[in-house]
Amino acid sequence: MRLPALQKIPALQPTELSDVTQRAVEELLREGESQNTLMSYRSALRYWAAWYGLRYGVMVQLPVATPCVLQFIVDHAERTTPKGLVSELPAEIDQALVQGGYKGKLGAMAHNTLVHRIAVLSKAHQLRQLKNPCHDPKVRELLSRTRKAYAKRGAMPQRKDALTKEPLQALLATCDDTLRGKRDRALLLFAWASGGRRRSEVTSAEIQFLKRVGPTDFIYTLAYSKTNQSGTDLPENSKPIVGAAGKALDDWLQTSKIAEGFIFRRIRKGGHLGEALSPAAVRAVVKDRCALAGIEGDFSAHSLRSGFVTEAGRQNIPLAETMTMTGHHSVTTVLSYFRAQSTLLSDAANLLDL
């Protein structure tokens, strides 16, 4: 059946995208992407542009040539020589990248960071449908051998220390009855007791997804997460905030008088509430409380997540229950969070003593 054309609406070409449609497509792609992912992509592309400009003296343009990607790898990956571990990035360029804010410190970047930088460049070529130098066999082979070289040297990624029950209680003891103290207590317990929430999940938590099921007990519906980016309605989306965690959350909400919007907010001078906390603020809360408690170690926001999994392992909580709380879909992934102390207490480690 043929439909009459609408005179006031210009007809589109079925084989082409209009400028308006192209912008809409790009906006939907951006909105559907994780904010953390977008930030990491921008940071990686900024680094590529800065490195390329300093290395070649011209602005970077896509597609990038394969030799450029190979140069990037040897500039940033350490290799063993008679003089020790070396890489090819000139000291002057390294210094300029640090001074410009593109790098955090001098020296070779972590292997995971190098792989991420290559992956982002590959994605940029893929989105523009350009010939992808990162898929070149030489690049793939060099990355594979580099990964094996790092593994042979025992250069494994450094994990943050786990905030298990005991150190967490020390952090909570530093939270006084000020507005900031009540917020930090509620935040730490919300993140830890609900299954080790990621920092972005904590800062994006909203009242509309919080349901009171008792005087001081709640159920929080995690509508969107790293492992459920499509917003699928699943039973495990419901996270209990009960016991000490529920009481701390109730105290914070009653004191702050937050009835809508984001749960965890900035506290300005004079005790005035501001906008929602940034994900980086969760890391700051953990580190500040660790300093106040006098706890030594390399702790960060992710320590809450690894601490929950580690403590569950120490207390022999069934793995299925732990995964329901954390939201992990892979047994291998969740097991990677277990720390040495949880394995030391397992029956498998003490077979001779049973």
Q: From CA 141, how far away is CA 85, in angstroms rounded?
A: 20
- Mean pLDDT, contiguous 10-residue spans, the chain (354 residues): 52 59 62 67 88 90 92 92 88 92 89 91 88 95 92 76 92 95 97 91 93 93 67 73 95 95 93 91 94 91 91 86 86 72 65 63
In this structure, are 211 and 295 located in the same domain? yes
Predicted local distance difference test score (pLDDT) of residue 233: 59
Q: Whole domain around residue 204: which residue ranges? A: 165-345
In this structure, are 302 and 272 located in the same domain? yes
Q: From CA 284, how far away is CA 167, in angstroms rounded?
A: 16
pTM of the predicted model over 0.75: no
Q: From CA 53, how far away is CA 62, in angstroms rounded?
A: 13
CATH code assigned at 128? 1.10.150.130
Predicted local distance difference test score (pLDDT) of residue 3: 46
CATH code assigned at 291? 1.10.443.10
In this structure, are 229 and 296 located in the same domain? yes
Predicted local distance difference test score (pLDDT) of residue 345: 63
Give the distance, in angstroms, between the CA of residue 7 and the centroid of all CA atoms in the same chain. Answer: 50
Show which of 152, 182, 206 is a domain's final residue: 152
In this structure, are 230 and 138 located in the same domain? no
For 308-323, what is each residue's pLDDT tens digit?
998 988 888 888 888 8
In this structure, are 215 and 341 located in the same domain? yes
In this structure, are 196 and 290 located in the same domain? yes
User: What is Dmax (Cα atoms) for the chain?
Assistant: 86
Predicted local distance difference test score (pLDDT) of residue 245: 95
HEC profile for the chain? CCCCCCCCCCCCCCCCCCHHHHHHHHHHHHHCCCHHHHHHHHHHHHHHHHHHHHHHCCCCCCCCCHHHHHHHHHHHCCEEECCEEECCCCHHHHHHHHHCCCCCCCCCCCHHHHHHHHHHHHHHHHHCCCCCHHHCHHHHHHHHHHHHHHHHCCCCCCCCCCCCHHHHHHHHHCCCCCHHHHHHHHHHHHHHHCCCCCHHHHHCCEHHHEEECCCCCEEEECCCECCECCCCCCHHHEEEECHHHHHHHHHHHHHHCCCCCECCEEECHHHCEEEECCHHHHHHHHHHHHHHHCCCCCCCCHHHHHHHHHHHHHCCCCHHHHHHHHCCCCHHHHHCCCCHHHHHCCHHHHHHHC
Show which of 152, 174, 197 is a domain's final residue: 152
Q: Is residue 352 part of a domain?
A: no
Predicted local distance difference test score (pLDDT) of residue 175: 96
